[in-house]
Amino acid sequence: MVATPPAPDRRARLALPPGQPPALVAEQGAPAGPPPGPPPSAEDLARAAVRRLIGPVRQDGCREWRGSYDRDGYGQAWYQGHRRQAHRLLAIWEHGDIPRSWEVDHTCRHRWCVEISHLEPSPRAEHRRREAERRHLIDEEVD
């Protein structure tokens, strides 16, 4: 029977200090992990916190808001020290600034939905006209 030489000690090869686990150190002693770069901005962190409250896509294509709701059934989020309607906040991030006189229409008709493709900024008068048209269609279906 031939004796095999002992396996080389990885700790010795990487010159790790005693007690340092090898998994935390990459080859040649460089720290493991992502390359250094600028830290995320406060805005990036705030947006990430809001986006964590968006549910997965449902079968109907909607994405449910998983945060709190206002008394009218719209999702709401704290952003930059103010309570905001979640769907409006996401529409602003997607489309840019939306005038205060405009509203964000849920084309799917679900107030809790925050799927960006279901949110359409429009002037208040246009939004009201669409709502009246939809109510009229619903009333016709009931008759």
Q: What is the pLDDT of residues 89-105, one digit of tens each?
A: 999 999 999 999 999 99
For the stretch 26-42, pLDDT in tens is 555 566 666 678 888 98
pLDDT score recorded for residue 39:
86
Fold of 61-142: Homing Intron 3 (I-Ppo) Encoded Endonuclease; Chain A (3.90.75)
Residue 92 CA to residue 99 CA, distance in Å, equals 10
Q: Which residues contact 29 (CB under 8 A, 6 or more apart)?
A: 14, 15, 16
Contact 78, 97 (CB under 8 A): no
Give the whole-angstrom CA distance, residue 71 versus residue 129.
23
Residues in the chain: 143
* CA atoms lying within 13 Å on the CB side of residue 112: 14
pTM of the full structure: 0.66
124 within 8 A of 102, measured Cβ to Cβ: yes
